[in-house]
Structure 1
Amino acid sequence: MILTVTPNPSLDRTYEVPFLERGEVLRASSERLDPGGKGVNVSRAVAAAGHATTAVMPLGGAPGALIAELLSGQGIDVTAVKITGQTRSNIAIAEPAGTLTKINAPGPELTATESGLLLDTVRTHSLDADWIACCGSLPRGVGPQWYAELVARVHEAGARIALDTSGPALLAALGERPDVVKPNAEELAAAVGRRLTTVGDALEAARELRSRGAAAVLASLGADGQLLLDSSGTYFGCAAVAVVRSNVGAGDASLAGFLTAGGTGPDALAAAVAHGAAAVQLPGSVMPAPADLDPSSVTVTEDVPLDRALTEPTI
């Protein structure tokens, strides 16, 4: 069973439009309403793959109630920590070529009591989990040490934890030795404080995160592939993608694939790449089911292409 933690969930509305032009009235060709947040997406992908998952999150107001209803309808066990604030609603506008414009609301401010209750709830439920996936930004009112405290409590319970966050929260948590961290290229660059222009640069940055405490690093480089550095070795994976419809939740789908495949080694990386490649070919934040996966399109190797330029170099 994979338990997910989403400190700042959202209700996501996605519109597909033929083009985006400021100041004009646009007509959407389709509309989707999905429960959102990185940990929520991981649970949705895990459930789509046929595995058991529990989603722990703070929920408040009508959007929070709708998130719980939508997730329950997808076979996901929801453990909600009730808060006085209202769960945020986000908007995404998708264009045919794969360009996505997102408007993310700041979300509610959690009280010290609410954030403490969220920690206690995760600690209680971690006893039944094979993996804990803690994902996304922290809500207002919660300091960057919160994830570090969460990692410590999960380890005390004897569970393994995968952390997908960024900035000060990521750096603070490294000292508690999370079992896996999953940054993208931009988050890697921010963590090490330098520009990344090649896959080799990303590899060195991932090594630095391991030296700071991460037991393993699963780094997503977008269209350029993924890197895995763990106790079994260093691996590079990529997949052929025909058409990109939306990259919303692709990294979350990758993490779900990685964890459901065991969370270590080249086979888990291959599953991560397959799930991410499938996700970008689906609309909105739809998570891939087994029928959407194409393992034959995935290549995993120990031969990392160090000199390959990143498609979108980080700043």
Structure 2
Amino acid sequence: MAAVRSPFCQIEKSETLILTVVSQVIPTAQTRYVDHWSKCADQIKAHNPDLVFLQKVGDMRGDTLRLLFQQRLGLELYIGRSECHHTGVAWNPRRLTANWHDDFYSTSLMHGYAAVSMTPVGCQPDLRLTGISAHLNEFSAQAATAEAQLLGCRGHNPGGLGIIAGIFGYTPIGDPELAVEEHPLPFRMARFRRSRHKPGWEADRGPSEALALGEYSDVCGTVANTTDNPDLRHVPGSKTGFRDVQAYVTAALLPTVTGYQWTDPLGKNSSTGMVFEMDLNKIDPRHVRSRVSKTRSRAR
């Protein structure tokens, strides 16, 4: 049976429209050293990724790191501004053509962010994916929710094809409720709020609730539901299973997600990473906003 081609793409081999996406937290104690970065790059390379979201990039010189990614992975890398932990987005230039990169609102977020607009090779020029690497404020759910709202709006620009991945730090919609005592003492103040339905406390799911309002879907949660695999929501090797690293896609990209798996941590101080595939043949055209068509309609 012939594969259904995306109405936005102009190529015959649908296999070239399948992207492998990786999100990974870098060990904070290792970010200053080229040799450790080389080992991290080799582990990431094993997944043969087309798009990589990085968190806690550290203070290694950007030019050195970009050169390392070019040589070891064949990827271009953009690192966003931050007063604390940096984030980055890397992409395969043979599969994705970068249109612009952005950290314009980074000073409004505790750890900044990195955003890159990309057009898949073979697709119409006005079809643009916006990939954002995020690391939300871990000390306040209210602040993290405001950051998620900002990034959610950014991810919808320009055409409603947004991917946000990284460290969210708060219980997402659909994940089981953990007892207050199962969280480290300092973070209880940030991760819980007074329950709206019963006496006591409940997990503050503000960031994921804000993104859900913007028609974003949790990639892991979606795959767990569609494959009837609730265990996927639990981070392997974690005592509590708390899922602080998450990825979200807009409604147009939700049908493209074809799988999800956890990856091994890159070091002692790193979180478990994630990898998933996206088949761009399955983009939902009902949720794609074309800047070209809007411009023409206004001109009339």
Q: Which has the higher helix share?
A: 1
- TM-score of the two chains, using structure 2 as the length reference: 0.39
Larger RCO of the pair (alpha carbons < 8 Å, separation 6+): 2
- TM-score of the two chains, using structure 1 as the length reference: 0.37
